[in-house]
């Protein structure tokens, strides 16, 4: 059985790690290079780096910072934010990223998914989807949650898979930063809609939430930010807890 992955997320703004609630009210959470090293040493399975204002501010992801982080860690490292071309991906992979995640640019130009998968392989492409539930429908949002689209979460995830995405990173905007648990009903439906790994994001507040998203939510990986950044949960302790609960994890 494949092990479930625990993935800390570094949301980057102005070169620093930040964290908000429901995509707003950002606060400083530490130096990204230092945090990356701590998480690699604590036993994180992967690391995700998201330059959260790159698309909104119409600039590219910070390749130099990616290079600094990659030089200090020995776990898979995914980078997203402001990626809109095959050349952007090439630069980030050369800077030390193992995978890239695309979000807004893929919605605006779905062919980008095909192009990246064809050039570099599906294994290094994550389709990141930010979605919000209103009146029972999950709508996809762009530009760091600023712009609502007509796209529906499950339809878009399926299209992303068909175009060559290797994983889906789904962030529930309703749950983001609330620490009330992941969007497990939607996550379960998502995992039953596509045949590629699902990374849960948005809502982690305690160890039980991770257990629930791996069981009720049927996720392959769970991503969190503030509970790791501010020391509320240690990755080693979380993995030991999950192992005791018979969740397959890499200890």
97-138 tens-digit pLDDT: 999 999 999 999 999 999 999 999 999 999 999 999 988 899
Catalytic residue among 11, 45, 51, 176: 11
Q: List CB contacts of 67: < 8 A, sequence separation 6 or more.
A: 95, 96
Q: What is the pLDDT of residue 208?
A: 98
pLDDT of residue 73: 94
Report the pLDDT value the prediction gives residue 23, as an integer from 0 to 100. Answer: 46
CB atoms within 10 A of CB 237: 12
Residue 82: what pLDDT? 83
For 236, which DSSP code? H
The predicted pLDDT at position 187 comes to 98
For residue 196, pLDDT beyond 50? yes
3-class state of residue 182 by DSSP:
coil
Q: Give the pLDDT confidence score for residue 32 in this predicted structure.
A: 85
CB under 8 Å to 158, separation ≥6 — which residues?
193, 194
Given 51, 130, 176, 220, which residue is catalytic?
A: 130
Whole-number pLDDT of residue 52: 65
Domains and CATH numbers, the chain: 5-244 (3.20.20.70)
Helices vs. strands in the chain: H and E counts, helices first: 10, 12
Clarify whether 31 is annotated catalytic. Answer: no
User: Can you give the pLDDT at residue 50?
Assistant: 85
Query: Is the Cβ–Cβ distance between 191 and 217 less than 8 Å?
Result: yes
CB atoms within 10 A of CB 85: 14
Q: Read off the tokens for 72.
A: 């200090």
Pairing assessment for the beta strands 147-152 and 137-142 based on DSSP bridges: antiparallel
State pLDDT tens for residues 70-88: 999 999 999 998 899 999 9
Q: What is the pLDDT of residue 63?
A: 83
Q: Give the H or E element holding residue 32.
A: helix 32-42
Burial class (CB in 10 A: 0-12, 13-18, 19+), 33: middle
pLDDT higher than 90, residue 17: no
Residue given tokens 């910070």 in the structure block:
62
CA nearest neighbour of 55 among 109, 99, 121, 95: 109
SS3 at position 20: strand
At residue 218, the pLDDT reads 98
Place of tokens 């439906």: 189
Token reading at 200 = 């849960």
Is 88 among the catalytic positions? Answer: no
Low-confidence winner among 10-19, 50-59, 158-167 (lowest mean pLDDT): 50-59
pLDDT reading at 158 higher than 60: yes
Whether residue 170 has pLDDT greater than 60: yes
* Residue 12 pLDDT level (bands cut at 50, 70, 90): confident
């Amino acid at each position: 059985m494949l092990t479930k992955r625990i993935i800390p997320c570094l949301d980057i703004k102005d070169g620093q790690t930040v964290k908000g609630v429901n995509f707003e009210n950002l606060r400083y959470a530490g130096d990204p290079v230092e945090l990356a090293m701590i998480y690699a040493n604590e036993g994180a399975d992967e690391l995700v780096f998201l330059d959260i204002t790159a698309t909104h501010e119409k600039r590219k992801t910070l390749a130099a910072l990616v290079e600094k982080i990659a030089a200090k860690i020995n776990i898979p490292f995914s980078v997203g934010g402001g990626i809109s071309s095959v050349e952007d991906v090439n630069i980030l992979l050369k800077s030390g990223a193992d995978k890239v995640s695309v979000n807004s640019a893929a919605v605006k130009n779905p062919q980008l998914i095909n192009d990246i998968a064809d050039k570099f392989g599906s294994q290094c492409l994550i389709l990141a989807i930010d979605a919000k539930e209103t009146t029972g429908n999950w709508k996809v949002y762009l530009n760091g949650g600023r712009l609502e689209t007509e796209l529906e979460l499950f339809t878009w995830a399926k299209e992303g898979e068909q175009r060559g995405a290797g994983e889906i990173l789904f962030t529930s905007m309703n749950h983001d930063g609330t620490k009330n648990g992941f969007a497990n009903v939607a996550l379960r439906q998502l995992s039953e809609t596509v045949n590629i790994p699902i990374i849960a994001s948005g809502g982690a507040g305690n160890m039980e939430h991770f257990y629930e998203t791996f069981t009720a939510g049927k996720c392959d990986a769970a991503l969190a930010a503030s509970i790791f950044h501010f020391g509320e949960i240690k990755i080693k302790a979380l993995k030991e807890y999950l192992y005791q609960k018979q969740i397959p994890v890499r200890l």
